[in-house]
Amino acid sequence: MKIRSSIIPADHTFAQVRKTRGYNLKAICIFASTGFFMDDDTFWLNEVCLRPGCDHIVDEDGYLVSSQPWFQWHYSPEQK
């Protein structure tokens, strides 16, 4: 199944990855110090938050297979 995430998502979308279920201690420490998770981290090792602006391929069992960005941000300011 293909999932396309928007550039600025209103809600989080999660997918499973093939890892043993356990606490993601590094991500929890970062969450405790900043108040949010970085990148695709969650509380769990076997779960990821799907990144914005990407096409995600998820298999029939709900496991993330791949992610490819469909949006490339570019900014060229005018030189005055």
Domain boundaries, the chain: 2-69
d(CA 53, CA 38): 16
DSSP structural state of residue 62 = S
d(CA 12, CA 64): 15
pLDDT digits 0-9 by tens, 8-55:
989 999 999 999 999 999 999 999 999 999 999 999 999 999 999 999
* Sheet containing strand 64-69, strands side by side: 2-4, 54-58, 64-69
What is residue 7's predicted lDDT score, i.e. its pLDDT? Answer: 93
What is residue 73's predicted lDDT score, i.e. its pLDDT? Answer: 86
What is residue 80's predicted lDDT score, i.e. its pLDDT? Answer: 80
Asked if pLDDT for residue 79 goes beyond 90, the answer is no
